[in-house]
Amino acid sequence: MTTQHEHETTTQTTPAEKASSHGHGWMMIACCIPMLAIAIILVATGVASTGFLLVAIGCTVMMAVMMAGMRDRG
């Protein structure tokens, strides 16, 4: 059985782990770039409406918020 103090010390992240998770967040945001590029091209050529672009931007913002929340939690 562990005490509360022992549990707190074992769940803390090291600076290297924090830096690694920060890089992972940027990588996940970078994965949204192709989706945004395709959305911009489709809207520019008239194949899709501007609502499609808004959904793509919303998805990117949601990913950024989730990555920020995960980084703050660690």
Specify the higher pLDDT residue, 18 or 70: 70
Q: Could you report the per-residue pLDDT of 7-59, keeping only the tens digit for each? A: 555 556 566 555 555 677 788 888 899 999 999 999 999 999 999 999 999 99
Looking at residue 47, its pLDDT comes to: 95
**Buried b or exposed e, range 55-68, using 16+ CB within 10 angstroms:** ebeeebeebeeebe
Range among 1-5, 46-50, 68-72 rated most confident: 46-50
- Kindly calculate the radius of gyration of the chain based on its CA atoms and give it in whole angstroms: 19
The pTM is what? 0.61
